[in-house]
Amino acid sequence: MSDEPTVAPGDAAIGGTPGDVAAPVRRGPTAWLAAIGPAIIVASVVLGPGSILISSKVGTEYGYGMMWVLAIAVLFMIGMVALCARLGILHDGSMCDELAASVGRPATVFVGLIIFLIVACYQTSNNGAVLAALEPLFDWPRDGQEGVSDAALQHAQMIKALVLVGFNGFVVVILFALRGLYKKLESLMKGMVMLMVVAFLANLIFARPSLIDAFKGLIPSLPSGGLIPTEQDGHIVDPLLTVLGMIMTTFSVAGAFYQAYLVREKGWKIADAKQGMRDSVIGITTLGVLSAMIMMTSAAVLHGHVQPSDLKTVTDVSQQLEPAFGRKATLLFSVGIFAGAFNPFIINAIIGGTLFSDALGLGSKIDGVWPKVMTTGALAVGMVVALLSVVAGIDPIGVIVFAQALTVLGVPVLAVAVLGLAIRAKRRSSAMVPMWMPLMCGAAVLLTVALALRTAYRLYLQLT
């Protein structure tokens, strides 16, 4: 028997009031496209410039050999997103409301604060990613570049600062000026994801990868060099740094957690449970396919020819591809990078602002005042640190290390919170929460704890 419920017309939906029913179901060959949305938004925030860079570095370093790691990370992400979508449909209140009812408001505020701080810190890199995505298009001069005067560098710095202020200001205006923000964001993210698909697929066709080798890469194998980071001659040697980075950028617990809020914005009820599962599979699979395209492109063109350490930014990736693809294809890759920078820039801040507002009990609706205020706060922190880096030359590495330290603590705590809410929902309505969901969530908790401990050890080596 199927574990999906059936709801007769007029039945009350769990998590709503008596008389709540599912939204009318659209029919036709394109009905599925109109219904899908929440997981596409989650995929949009996960596949940012950091994920693009890491996928490129993994393909450059290992060729097709780590395709199996990406596949496993995508499967974990599908399971966690599907579970959180189910929890968003089932629970009476939001995730933070339910968490507060289980463990108390102070613990919930602690979780929300950690997520907000992580988001605010990483918003710094999102600002930098926007500039990096625009750099190939505007050909800004670089510090140390031959023949570039100080006046030209200062002019470029001022232009970059104006871009950051204008971009952040535009996002804030959009947040407060628009009503029905969810639908507009869903349409925008669908468009941006399609743009990324076109851009990266075109580059993949230019690269002409070996499909046979790509399928062989789905067979698990471990790279040489050990599994634990070590210190050698004053340097940290971590042979799995890029691979673990790919796991952490693909399997985003915070992004999955926010899926519960997105399905509520979508208005889904119990009768939409199957659609929620379909949405999770299609949305996150799209994320995996895009990451695989990027990895295969680098494996075909850069593996064996470029050192992974030479790829420090997405701009470096674009420049390394230019000799093989030509200027036009490289510009197309840059368009994909910009779409990848634009998506998390907005959604990442909204996740942090909404979850912190909800943790404080101030509301969880994307159109609410307090979620928008908190989102603006996250945007402001990222912009100010990025401006200090661009104009004053202050290295933001301290902010990034702080964010990594918070991630070590925050991600396992958030995963445990999801598992607790899943167990609670399973007891309440076992038919609605199939056993594989909490089991996969339990495995995800173990994975996040293992990754957190390893990251903590690496930070210890780095700081000492």
C-alpha closest to that of 12 among 92, 83, 74: 92
Q: Report pLDDT for 258.
A: 92
Asked if pLDDT for residue 147 goes beyond 80, the answer is no
Report phi then psi at 364, rounded to 5: -125, 0
DSSP codes, 18-75: TT--PPPPP-STTHHHHH--HHHHHHHHHSSHHHHHHHHHHHHHHTTTTHHHHHHHHH
Q: Is residue 237 part of a domain?
A: yes
Q: Is residue 24 part of a domain?
A: no
Span 24-41, mean pLDDT? 62
**For 221, which DSSP code?**
-
Residues 314-324 as b/e (b if ≥16 CB within 10 A, e otherwise) read: bbbbbbbbeeb
Both tokens of 3, joined, read 């574990």
User: Please, what is the average pLDDT of the chain?
Assistant: 81
Q: Domain total for the chain?
A: 1
Q: Is residue 4 part of a domain?
A: no
Q: Is residue 293 part of a domain?
A: yes
Confidence band for 82, pLDDT divided at 50, 70 and 90:
very high
139 vs 31, 135, 334, CA distance in Å? 43, 5, 12
Q: Mind listing the pLDDT tens digit for each residue in 379-410?
A: 998 898 888 887 776 666 666 666 666 777 78
Q: Report pLDDT for 6.
A: 35
Predicted TM-score of the model (pTM)? 0.84
Q: Report pLDDT for 131.
A: 80
Asked if pLDDT for residue 46 goes beyond 70, the answer is yes
Q: Report pLDDT for 33.
A: 56
Asked if pLDDT for residue 455 goes beyond 70, the answer is yes
Amino acid identity, residue 408?
V
Task: State the residue for tokens 């603006």.
Answer: 376
Q: Which domain holds residue 358?
A: 31-463
Q: Report pLDDT for 368.
A: 92
Q: Is residue 23 part of a domain?
A: no
Confidence band for 144, pLDDT divided at 50, 70 and 90:
low
Cα 433 to Cα 11: distance, rounded to the nearest angstrom: 19
Dihedral, 68, 70, 76, 80 alpha carbons, nearest 10: -160
Three-state secondary-structure class, residue 317: helix
C-alpha closest to that of 251 among 65, 24, 407: 407
Q: Is residue 208 part of a domain?
A: yes
Helix ranges (DSSP H) in 217-326: 241-250, 253-266, 273-301, 314-325
Q: Is residue 279 part of a domain?
A: yes
Q: Is residue 94 part of a domain?
A: yes
The domain spanning residue 183 has which CATH number? Answer: 1.20.1740.10
Q: Report pLDDT for 2.
A: 38
